[in-house]
Amino acid sequence: MKNSLKSLRSERGWSQNDLAQALGVSRQTVNAIENGRYDPSLPLAFAIARLFALGIEQIFDDEATQ
């Protein structure tokens, strides 16, 4: 699943570790999500959206709809 997590994180000057700590996950999980190797669970996707004050669909893009 495509996502804009890396750019959102970078815009705020956060490291992957900063984001991981804010979400309660590992840095490796953040890296895997950013690189499209791991699709987050629905609760984690909601937590990411809340953290960035955006809708899930503004962060994650289901490639199947394109």
Q: What is the pLDDT of residues 12-37, one digit of tens each?
A: 999 999 999 999 999 999 999 999 99
**% of residues, the chain, pLDDT over 90:** 91
pTM of the entire predicted model: 0.90
Tell me which residue range forms the domain holding 38.
Answer: 2-57
For residue 64, is it within any domain? no
Q: How many domains does the chain have?
A: 1
- Separation CA 23–CA 41 (nearest Å): 12
For residue 6, is it within any domain? yes
For residue 66, is it within any domain? no
